[in-house]
Structure 1
Amino acid sequence: MNFYDWMIYKGLSESSAKKYDRALGGPLSQWAQDHGLTFGPLNALTSSSALHDLQPKIQELPLFKERNARGHQMYSATLSHFAAYLESNGSDDVQADLESVINDSNIPATEKLALIQARIGQGIFREKVLRHWTCCAVTGYRDTSLLVASHIKPWKKATSEERIDPWNGLLLSPNLDKAFDKGFITFDPNGIIRLSPLFTEAAKLGITHSMKIALQPQHERYMAYHREEEFKSD
């Protein structure tokens, strides 16, 4: 769930969500980059601790103080909402997805259980993904208790069948799973990793351009969707 969608889910109006989303990706990001506080837009941040360190520095900028006062504290409110978004770390996303399944009267009860288990990384989906990959699909790390059964086409955008299709799954270490889920990495048809230009500190997470994955043809329709719709190419 991106920042805009998260704000809508939290009950903000469309106009407020658009205003804060534009402020984050526009003026706030520009001010931070112009003063050497960050090397990319703020909406590329995935760590709440990173924002925690940046936020007071941004708020001390004279331009921030001037524009924030003129804008009736809009920019400080934007940073507060974005901090709450990063703090949620996807938990609100999961909760919203589970609620959508539970409240859907068109889904039979037995199918709901399978979908819920697939969303929280358990059940038949994880079992099938584990059976195919057996270890981290990229690094070969073998302690499966620490690995995540990750959907290639995001769960919330997939059909019920796609949500439990093991070909829509990768077995990844947590750092790779989070980067893939956020669209900061993807894989080309030959399995070679692509790093988003917004992912400026990938190496600090052990993620490099030399990584690759052994994809099967059945993965490609899902991976093609991820490259086109989820990957942050610019």
Structure 2
Amino acid sequence: MSCIMFDVYADELKKLNVDRSSGRAKPHKVCLLFAVFDLIEDKQIRDNRILLNDELKLRFTHYFNKFRADGDRDNPYLPFFHLRSSSFWHHKLRSGVKYNHKYSVSEKSLNTYIEYVYLNEDLFALLKSEKQRNALRQCLSENFAELGDQFRRWAVEIGKSEKTAKNYVSALKTTMPNWMKSLGHDTGSIFELGSLAEFKSLEQKLRETSIFQERDFTGKRMYSAALKAYGDFLSDTTQVQLQEDIDYILKDETKTVTEKSVLVKARIGQGKYRQDLVDLWGKCALTGFENRDFLIASHIKPWRDSSEAEKLDKYNGLLLVANLDRAFDKGYISFSDSGEILISEELEEYTKLGISSSGNLHMHQESREYMLYHREMIFR
């Protein structure tokens, strides 16, 4: 595949025709393409046929919950239809439907007239390469013009107060870059660093400076907290840990193709592992919410720390709505042996996330060892 074709698609994905009528980039098209990238990576899309199925909708919702703002609706049908304005996204109409037939963005219309979507073959070939896929994923992220705004919303979503979130933004955008400039490093806003690797490199340099150490101490570690939060944000939105775990599975020569498929699906909360958790919990383990489209299957003891058996053990899993799943995954909440919710002091405005201090779940006996690990190693 020529570098020229990669550059063509990289440029188009950076400048995706997204809806900016509200004064900011709506996340729908980017989230749907992220979902497609994931399903190609997971080998659920193998032959350039993108179906409007439950797997695609679930992954869309996963990303949409990360990037949404007030007023945004979780509607995958919008981008599935409107991405046809891009040069690479094509609707394959069902047999008997004429190409000049008018069909709309509604779920009924799309299911009636569209058999599947296919991409340009050269783009699909690029997306089958992990290196190229990750590079194009980064290009997509550039549609969100101001990472600072995106980061502020993310910080509030995980329970930081508006005041704390704004302080973090100010520190990352102006204060700490000014310290670096005073030391002879011409550093712009930290939000210009969309790459986790670039950010980690700058973070290390910052932490080694005397001005950072002095100001961080007198500022009660606020600057350290801001750097950690932005690192978490980049890791969360670019799915770095997920990609590393999946890459490790796929490169394991001791595993059969079938075993790798099972492990990959368990890692992203899909396939048999998700069904096992649905059978075990039936609904959100904490709130009782039953619509499975909004429930995320995740591990109690993190994947990276689990043994082979623990990775597939249904008792090492929770089924939670998205906001609770994120809070649990990041260690802002945990649970006692009796199932009582534990809320970290770092989660400043947890009621805005729909979290109640009186929350309680039925703790399975077999899950207690996993939850003990979570309390001791993950809970903040």
Scaled by the length of structure 1, what TM-score is found?
A: 0.70
1:86 aligns with 2:233: yes
Partner of 1:144: 292
Contact 2:339 2:362 in 1 (8 A): yes
The counterpart of 1:182, out of the listed 310, 330, 338, is 330
The counterpart of 2:362, out of the listed 202, 214, 229, is 214
Give the 3-state SS of the residue equivalent to 1:113 in structure 2.
Answer: helix
| Residue identity in the other structure for 1:169 | G
Distance 1:65 1:216 in 2: 49
What CA deviation, in whole Å up to 9, does each residue of 1:97-125 have, x standing for no partner? 11010011122322111101111211111
1:199 aligns with 2:347: yes
> How much has 1:155 moved relative to structure 2?
1.1
Distance 1:218 1:86 in 2: 32
Give the 3-state SS of the residue equivalent to 1:104 in structure 2.
Answer: coil
Contact 2:299 2:316 in 1 (8 A): yes
Which of 68-77 and 209-218 deviates more?
A: 68-77
Contact 2:157 2:353 in 1 (8 A): no
Distance 2:286 2:332 in 1: 15
Give the 3-state SS of the residue equivalent to 1:105 in structure 2.
Answer: coil
Deviating beyond 6 angstroms after TM superposition, the runs of 4 or more aligned structure 1 residues are none
Distance 2:281 2:339 in 1: 14
> How much has 1:56 moved relative to structure 2?
5.5
Assess, with a 3 A threshold, how the Cα gap between structure 1 residues 180 and 56 changes in structure 2: closer, same or farther. Answer: closer
> How much has 1:85 moved relative to structure 2?
5.4
> How much has 1:196 moved relative to structure 2?
0.8
| Residue identity in the other structure for 2:179 | R
Q: Which runs of 5+ in 2 are unaligned?
A: 1-151, 194-198, 200-226
Distance 1:182 1:65 in 2: 27
Distance 1:79 1:138 in 2: 38
Distance 2:244 2:174 in 1: 36
Give the 3-state SS of the residue equivalent to 1:213 in structure 2.
Answer: coil
What CA deviation, in whole Å up to 9, does each residue of 1:125-163 have, x standing for no partner? 111110010000000000012101110011121112111
- What is the percent sequence identity of the aligned residues? 34
Partner of 1:131: 279
Assess, with a 3 A threshold, how the Cα gap between structure 1 residues 60 and 100 changes in structure 2: closer, same or farther. Answer: closer
Structure possessing the higher radius of gyration over alpha carbons = 2
The counterpart of 2:182, out of the listed 65, 70, 75, is 70
> How much has 1:46 moved relative to structure 2?
7.3
Assess, with a 3 A threshold, how the Cα gap between structure 1 residues 201 and 106 changes in structure 2: closer, same or farther. Answer: same
Distance 1:165 1:47 in 2: 30
Contact 1:155 1:163 in 2 (8 A): yes
Give the 3-state SS of the residue equivalent to 1:126 in structure 2.
Answer: helix
Partner of 2:72: none
| Residue identity in the other structure for 1:99 | D
Which of 113-122 and 171-180 deviates more?
A: 113-122
Assess, with a 3 A threshold, how the Cα gap between structure 1 residues 73 and 145 changes in structure 2: closer, same or farther. Answer: same
Give the 3-state SS of the residue equivalent to 1:89 in structure 2.
Answer: helix
Give the 3-state SS of the residue equivalent to 2:355 in structure 1.
Answer: coil
What CA deviation, in whole Å up to 9, does each residue of 1:41-70 have, x standing for no partner? x9x94769x798556633455xx4652323
Which of 150-159 and 75-84 deviates more?
A: 75-84
Assess, with a 3 A threshold, how the Cα gap between structure 1 residues 65 and 110 changes in structure 2: closer, same or farther. Answer: closer
Give the 3-state SS of the residue equivalent to 1:153 in structure 2.
Answer: coil
> How much has 1:177 moved relative to structure 2?
0.4
Q: Which runs of 5+ in 1 are unaligned?
A: 1-41
1:118 aligns with 2:231: no
1:57 aligns with 2:170: yes
Partner of 2:108: none
Scaled by the length of structure 2, what TM-score is found?
A: 0.45
Pairwise CA RMSD of aligned residues? 3.0
Distance 1:230 1:183 in 2: 5
Distance 1:46 1:183 in 2: 15
1:170 aligns with 2:321: no
Contact 1:121 1:149 in 2 (8 A): yes
Contact 1:152 1:169 in 2 (8 A): yes
Q: Matched residue pairs, number?
A: 188
Partner of 1:103: 251
Assess, with a 3 A threshold, how the Cα gap between structure 1 residues 205 and 123 changes in structure 2: closer, same or farther. Answer: same
